[in-house]
Amino acid sequence: MGWGMKRIEVRVGDATARYTLLEDAPKTADAFWESLPIEGTITHARWAGSAVWVKTPNQPIAALDDIELPVTSIYPGTIVVRPNPRGVAELFLSYGVAESRGPVGRTYATPVAELDGDGAELLAAFGATWQGGSTEVSITRAEDES
Protein backbone atom coordinates (compact mmCIF):
# COMPACT_ATOMS: atom_id res chain seq x y z
CA MET A 1 0.00 0.00 0.00
CA GLY A 2 2.94 2.30 0.73
CA TRP A 3 1.09 4.72 2.97
CA GLY A 4 4.01 5.84 5.14
CA MET A 5 3.29 6.11 8.83
CA LYS A 6 -0.40 6.65 9.34
CA ARG A 7 -1.36 7.34 12.92
CA ILE A 8 -4.58 7.19 14.84
CA GLU A 9 -5.59 8.55 18.20
CA VAL A 10 -7.57 6.64 20.80
CA ARG A 11 -9.29 8.53 23.60
CA VAL A 12 -11.06 7.32 26.75
CA GLY A 13 -12.08 10.21 28.99
CA ASP A 14 -8.97 12.35 29.46
CA ALA A 15 -6.59 9.57 28.50
CA THR A 16 -5.28 9.52 24.95
CA ALA A 17 -2.59 7.69 23.04
CA ARG A 18 -1.43 7.35 19.49
CA TYR A 19 -1.12 4.19 17.50
CA THR A 20 0.65 3.47 14.23
CA LEU A 21 -1.36 1.75 11.55
CA LEU A 22 0.30 -1.55 10.64
CA GLU A 23 1.00 -2.52 7.05
CA ASP A 24 1.07 -6.28 7.58
CA ALA A 25 -2.57 -6.73 6.58
CA PRO A 26 -3.11 -3.90 4.08
CA LYS A 27 -6.72 -4.66 3.11
CA THR A 28 -7.94 -4.72 6.70
CA ALA A 29 -5.79 -1.81 7.81
CA ASP A 30 -7.03 0.29 4.90
CA ALA A 31 -10.66 -0.59 5.69
CA PHE A 32 -10.04 0.34 9.33
CA TRP A 33 -8.51 3.67 8.32
CA GLU A 34 -11.39 4.46 5.94
CA SER A 35 -13.90 3.64 8.72
CA LEU A 36 -12.57 6.27 11.11
CA PRO A 37 -13.74 8.00 13.20
CA ILE A 38 -15.18 5.22 15.33
CA GLU A 39 -17.16 6.19 18.40
CA GLY A 40 -18.51 3.51 20.69
CA THR A 41 -18.56 1.82 24.05
CA ILE A 42 -15.67 -0.31 25.25
CA THR A 43 -16.49 -3.27 27.45
CA HIS A 44 -13.98 -5.49 29.17
CA ALA A 45 -13.35 -8.83 27.52
CA ARG A 46 -14.91 -11.85 29.21
CA TRP A 47 -12.85 -14.52 27.42
CA ALA A 48 -9.82 -12.75 25.97
CA GLY A 49 -8.12 -11.54 29.14
CA SER A 50 -6.57 -8.08 29.50
CA ALA A 51 -8.38 -6.35 26.66
CA VAL A 52 -11.44 -4.27 25.92
CA TRP A 53 -13.61 -4.48 22.84
CA VAL A 54 -15.91 -2.25 20.87
CA LYS A 55 -18.13 -3.09 17.95
CA THR A 56 -18.76 -0.76 15.07
CA PRO A 57 -21.15 -0.74 12.12
CA ASN A 58 -18.89 1.71 10.27
CA GLN A 59 -18.06 0.88 6.68
CA PRO A 60 -15.99 -0.49 5.11
CA ILE A 61 -14.54 -2.30 8.13
CA ALA A 62 -17.91 -3.81 9.10
CA ALA A 63 -18.23 -5.43 5.68
CA LEU A 64 -15.01 -7.42 5.94
CA ASP A 65 -15.73 -11.09 6.31
CA ASP A 66 -12.26 -12.61 6.27
CA ILE A 67 -9.31 -12.60 8.59
CA GLU A 68 -6.46 -11.36 6.47
CA LEU A 69 -3.61 -12.09 8.89
CA PRO A 70 -4.83 -14.53 11.55
CA VAL A 71 -3.30 -14.12 15.00
CA THR A 72 -4.42 -15.30 18.41
CA SER A 73 -2.07 -13.38 20.71
CA ILE A 74 -3.04 -9.75 21.23
CA TYR A 75 0.07 -8.12 22.59
CA PRO A 76 -0.22 -5.12 24.94
CA GLY A 77 -0.99 -1.99 22.99
CA THR A 78 -2.26 -3.80 19.91
CA ILE A 79 -5.58 -3.31 18.14
CA VAL A 80 -7.00 -6.28 16.26
CA VAL A 81 -10.13 -6.64 14.13
CA ARG A 82 -12.48 -9.60 14.14
CA PRO A 83 -15.39 -9.89 11.69
CA ASN A 84 -18.81 -10.48 13.17
CA PRO A 85 -21.58 -12.11 11.12
CA ARG A 86 -24.10 -9.55 12.41
CA GLY A 87 -22.67 -6.90 10.11
CA VAL A 88 -20.37 -5.20 12.57
CA ALA A 89 -16.66 -5.34 13.17
CA GLU A 90 -15.26 -6.13 16.60
CA LEU A 91 -12.12 -4.25 17.63
CA PHE A 92 -10.09 -5.59 20.54
CA LEU A 93 -7.66 -3.23 22.25
CA SER A 94 -5.23 -4.97 24.57
CA TYR A 95 -3.67 -3.57 27.73
CA GLY A 96 -1.91 -6.73 28.92
CA VAL A 97 -1.82 -10.46 28.29
CA ALA A 98 -4.69 -11.19 25.93
CA GLU A 99 -5.68 -13.76 23.38
CA SER A 100 -8.43 -13.90 20.79
CA ARG A 101 -10.72 -16.64 22.07
CA GLY A 102 -14.28 -17.61 22.78
CA PRO A 103 -16.33 -20.30 24.47
CA VAL A 104 -14.86 -23.16 22.47
CA GLY A 105 -11.24 -22.08 22.38
CA ARG A 106 -8.97 -19.95 20.24
CA THR A 107 -10.31 -17.61 17.61
CA TYR A 108 -8.43 -15.42 15.17
CA ALA A 109 -8.19 -11.73 14.43
CA THR A 110 -6.18 -9.37 12.23
CA PRO A 111 -3.80 -6.84 13.84
CA VAL A 112 -4.21 -3.33 12.47
CA ALA A 113 -2.45 -0.92 14.82
CA GLU A 114 0.23 -0.75 17.45
CA LEU A 115 0.69 1.69 20.31
CA ASP A 116 3.32 4.44 20.09
CA GLY A 117 5.16 4.79 23.39
CA ASP A 118 3.85 3.27 26.62
CA GLY A 119 0.36 4.83 26.57
CA ALA A 120 0.15 4.10 30.28
CA GLU A 121 -2.85 6.33 31.00
CA LEU A 122 -4.91 4.93 28.17
CA LEU A 123 -4.05 1.33 29.01
CA ALA A 124 -4.98 2.03 32.63
CA ALA A 125 -8.31 3.40 31.41
CA PHE A 126 -8.88 0.18 29.49
CA GLY A 127 -8.06 -1.88 32.58
CA ALA A 128 -10.36 0.22 34.75
CA THR A 129 -13.39 -1.02 32.81
CA TRP A 130 -13.03 -4.41 34.51
CA GLN A 131 -14.01 -3.05 37.92
CA GLY A 132 -15.60 0.20 36.79
CA GLY A 133 -17.75 -0.88 33.87
CA SER A 134 -18.09 0.11 30.25
CA THR A 135 -17.16 3.56 29.00
CA GLU A 136 -16.98 5.56 25.79
CA VAL A 137 -14.10 5.42 23.35
CA SER A 138 -13.18 7.54 20.39
CA ILE A 139 -10.84 6.33 17.65
CA THR A 140 -9.85 8.97 15.10
CA ARG A 141 -7.19 9.79 12.58
CA ALA A 142 -4.40 11.74 14.28
CA GLU A 143 -4.38 15.36 13.16
CA ASP A 144 -0.80 15.13 11.93
CA GLU A 145 -1.54 11.69 10.67
CA SER A 146 1.51 11.00 8.60
Q: How far is the CB of 80 from other proteins (least distance, A)?
A: 17
Three-state secondary structure string covering 47-105: CCEEEEEEEECCCCHHHCCCCCCCECEECCCEEEEEEECCCEEEEEEEEEEEECEECCE
**Which one, 35 or 50, has the nearer CB to other proteins?**
50
Q: Using the rule CB under 8 A, is 124 a contact of other proteins? A: no
Residues 76-115 interacting with other proteins (rule: CB under 8 A) = 97, 103
Asked if 37 contacts 135 with a C-beta cutoff of 8 angstroms, the reply is: no
Question: Binding string, 7-46, against other proteins, x = CB under 8 A?
Answer: ------------------------------------xxxx
131 belongs to the binding site for other proteins (CB under 8 A):
yes
Report d(CA 142, CA 144) in Å as an integer: 5
Give the footprint of other proteins on this chain (CB under 8 A).
43-50, 97, 103, 129-134
